[in-house]
Amino acid sequence: MTVITDDGDQPWTTPGVYRVAPGVFRIPMPLPDESRLRAVNVYAVRSGADLVLVDSGWAMRGARDRLAAGLAALGAELGDVGRFLVTHQHRDHYTLAVEVRRAFGTRISVGIGEQPGLALAATPGRQQLQAQADALRRHGAGALADEVLAGLRDVDTSQLWEPPDDWLRPPQEVAVGDRLLRAVPTPGHTRGHVVFVEPGAGLLFAGDHVLPHITPSIGFEPVAFEHPLRDYLASLRLVRGLPDARLLPAHGPVQERAHPRVDALLAHHERRLDATQALVERGAHTAYEVARGLRWTRRELPLRELDTFNRMLAVLETAAHLDVLEGLGRVGTVLAEGPEVHYTPGGGPGPAPGPPGSGGPGASGPATPEAPGAAAAGPSADAGPPAVPGPSAAAGPSAGRTAER
Ligand SMILES: [Zn+2]
């Protein structure tokens, strides 16, 4: 393997080592065949004798050798890597770091917000996708929840996960030799997602926060957290408020500027919010009903034409949009019988009262206890792969342009 300039002449997934900036190299790493993301970029950052990797790849057969071959082209070995800076807990970003650490003691750093998700992912025998299944039931998709759980392979992936050596507490500066990277908190894709900005070089190591061709899934990790899409949109605006930079995404080719893609993602979610609100106004009650009224992936497919995994992501993403609309007062919620959340137009008190005595989730408050939290969160990253297609939890079917996953 030799180092070549990343000029976009070949598909971004082609194995190799690509120079993207002085001292910064992109190494595309393999993903399981069933992943529509096709590859994940690891970025090697050098300064003097220091060598740090941003994200690690998916611990699968051949991945470690691929990484070693890439580093060899840079005159380095796996044992020379001083630290993994991991953008988030998902399997395609985190688990190869764990494997390499077992052999070389390499330091792993990840955002503090990933603590609950990583802890649960490392718990032996846990029920995969439990948080997602619970959320599906709350959002009117009980049959889909059953289908999701029935389709899981009985594989315990807990051994792939271990806590990091240290938790990043962004905003936080991280030195790599003479270079200075800044970890910026960008919750949304996961609770503790961070991007790394190198202001001096005009680089944005974006992880899955800003991807060039797909809309990242929202809040998909083992432990539910509240308001994932609200957080995600705020994180997009945060990055939009930084000086524009070269976009170094985890999936997809490097782009000269990040801001146009951030604008496109914000616009996409605006359209999605409008469409979601319109469906509630036309009488859809649950996130499941709304999701059935929307179109999915770049190919504008109806929900029923997605596979089980992507139908799950679609319903959870719809719930996340409804959660944002509720926070804005554009829809309201009521609890129907049982645990189901029903949405109503407007945000004023709905036709049915909230649960007795709760003062609760009822009508208009920005946050009902119910809907949000659970809404989208789920396992993991790790749940993904064997059992279901898109491992990487990474990129949801999300909206419009997501086709990729
Ligand atoms: Zn990813």
Ligand 1 centroid to residue 328 C-alpha, Å: 30
What's the rounded Cα separation, in Å, for the pair 108 and 82? 9
Q: What is the pLDDT of residue 35?
A: 84
What's the rounded Cα separation, in Å, for the pair 141 and 315? 8
Ligand 1 centroid to residue 364 C-alpha, Å: 35
Ligand 1 centroid to residue 31 C-alpha, Å: 10
What's the rounded Cα separation, in Å, for the pair 317 and 295? 12
SS (H, E, C) 343-384: EEECCCCCCCCCCCCCCCCCCCCCCCCCHHHHHCCCCCCCCH
Which protein residues have a CB closer than 5 Å to ligand 1 (ion)? 92, 208, 250, 392, 394
Say if strands 17-21 and 24-30 run parallel, antiparallel, or are unpaired.
antiparallel
Q: Which domain holds residue 205?
A: 3-123+157-209+239-257
Ligand 1 centroid to residue 221 C-alpha, Å: 12
- 83/377: higher pLDDT: 83
What's the rounded Cα separation, in Å, for the pair 193 and 54? 13
Ligand 1 centroid to residue 149 C-alpha, Å: 23
Ligand 1 centroid to residue 57 C-alpha, Å: 9
Ligand 1 centroid to residue 40 C-alpha, Å: 6
Q: What is the pLDDT of residue 368?
A: 25
Model confidence band, residue 347 (pLDDT cutoffs 50, 70, 90): low
Q: Is 395 helix (H, G, I), strand (E, B) or coil?
A: coil
Count CA within 13 A, CB hemisphere, residue 47.
12
pLDDT at 293 over 80: yes
pLDDT at 384 over 70: no
What's the rounded Cα separation, in Å, for the pair 8 and 255? 10
Ligand 1 centroid to residue 354 C-alpha, Å: 39
Q: What is the pLDDT of residues 234-283, one digit of tens each?
A: 999 999 999 999 999 999 999 999 999 999 999 999 999 999 999 999 99
Q: What is the pLDDT of residues 46-84, one digit of tens each?
A: 999 999 999 999 999 999 999 999 999 999 999 999 999
**Amino acid identity, residue 296?**
W
CA distances (Å), 120 to each of 93, 155, 241, 343, 397, in order?
17, 15, 34, 31, 24
CA distances (Å), 402 to each of 299, 330, 395, 398, in order?
9, 25, 7, 6
CB neighbours of residue 165 within 10 Å: 14
Ligand 1 centroid to residue 95 C-alpha, Å: 11
Q: What is the pLDDT of residue 363?
A: 26
Ligand 1 centroid to residue 53 C-alpha, Å: 15
Determine which of 48-62, 137-151, 291-305, 363-377 has the lowest per-residue pLDDT on average.
363-377
Q: Let me know if residue 150 belongs to a domain.
A: no
pLDDT at 160 over 80: yes
DSSP state string for 27-73: EEEE--TT-TT-EEEEEEEEETTEEEEE------TTHHHHHHHHHHH
Q: Let me know if residue 383 belongs to a domain.
A: no
CATH number reported for the structural domain that contains residue 12 in this entry: 3.60.15.10
Determine which of 35-39, 179-183, 225-229 has the lowest per-residue pLDDT on average.
35-39
Ligand 1 centroid to residue 48 C-alpha, Å: 29
Ligand 1 centroid to residue 243 C-alpha, Å: 24
Ligand 1 centroid to residue 220 C-alpha, Å: 11
For the chain, the domain total comes to: 1
Ligand 1 centroid to residue 41 C-alpha, Å: 9
Structure tokens, 185: 């908190």
Structure tokens, 250: 């985890």
Q: Let me know if residue 272 belongs to a domain.
A: no
Ligand 1 centroid to residue 99 C-alpha, Å: 17
pLDDT at 312 over 70: yes
Yes or no: say if 110 and 94 are a contact pair by the CB < 8 Å rule: yes
Q: Let me know if residue 403 belongs to a domain.
A: no
What's the rounded Cα separation, in Å, for the pair 110 and 130? 24
pLDDT at 153 over 60: yes
Ligand 1 centroid to residue 331 C-alpha, Å: 32
Ligand 1 centroid to residue 54 C-alpha, Å: 12
Model confidence band, residue 1 (pLDDT cutoffs 50, 70, 90): confident
Ligand 1 centroid to residue 123 C-alpha, Å: 22
Strand partners, 18: 4, 26
Ligand 1 centroid to residue 219 C-alpha, Å: 13
Q: Let me know if residue 17 belongs to a domain.
A: yes
User: What's the whole-number average pLDDT of the chain?
Assistant: 86
Q: Let me know if residue 401 belongs to a domain.
A: no
pLDDT at 13 over 80: yes
Ligand 1 centroid to residue 340 C-alpha, Å: 31
Q: Mean pLDDT over residues 302-307, rounded?
A: 96
Q: What is the pLDDT of residues 163-181, one digit of tens each?
A: 999 999 999 999 999 999 9
Model confidence band, residue 348 (pLDDT cutoffs 50, 70, 90): low
φ, ψ of residue 332 to 5 degrees: the values are -115, 175
What's the rounded Cα separation, in Å, for the pair 251 and 70? 17
Ligand 1 centroid to residue 89 C-alpha, Å: 9
Ligand 1 centroid to residue 189 C-alpha, Å: 10
Ligand 1 centroid to residue 207 C-alpha, Å: 7
Ligand 1 centroid to residue 268 C-alpha, Å: 20
Ligand 1 centroid to residue 346 C-alpha, Å: 36
What's the rounded Cα separation, in Å, for the pair 179 and 54? 14
Q: What is the pLDDT of residue 107?
A: 98
Structure tokens, 369: 């206890």
DSSP state string for 77-113: -GGG--EEEES-S-HHHHHHHHHHHHHH--EEEEEGG
Cα of first residue to Cα of last residue in the chain, in angstroms, is 28
Q: Let me know if residue 54 belongs to a domain.
A: yes
Ligand 1 centroid to residue 378 C-alpha, Å: 15
- 307/375: higher pLDDT: 307
φ, ψ of residue 173 to 5 degrees: the values are -90, 140
| Residue 107 CB burial class (10 angstroms; 0-12, 13-18, ≥19) | middle
Q: Let me know if residue 222 belongs to a domain.
A: no
State the pTM of this model: 0.85
Q: Mean pLDDT over residues 304-328, rounded?
A: 96
Q: What is the pLDDT of residue 200?
A: 92
Q: Is 402 helix (H, G, I), strand (E, B) or coil?
A: helix
Q: What is the pLDDT of residue 400?
A: 33
Q: What is the pLDDT of residues 78-125, one digit of tens each?
A: 999 999 999 999 999 999 999 999 999 999 999 999 999 999 999 999
Q: Is 173 helix (H, G, I), strand (E, B) or coil?
A: strand
Ligand 1 centroid to residue 393 C-alpha, Å: 7
Yes or no: say if 166 and 101 are a contact pair by the CB < 8 Å rule: no
Model confidence band, residue 365 (pLDDT cutoffs 50, 70, 90): very low
Count CA within 13 A, CB hemisphere, residue 10.
10
Ligand 1 centroid to residue 402 C-alpha, Å: 13
57: nearest Cα among 20, 18, 13: 13
Yes or no: say if 222 and 133 are a contact pair by the CB < 8 Å rule: no
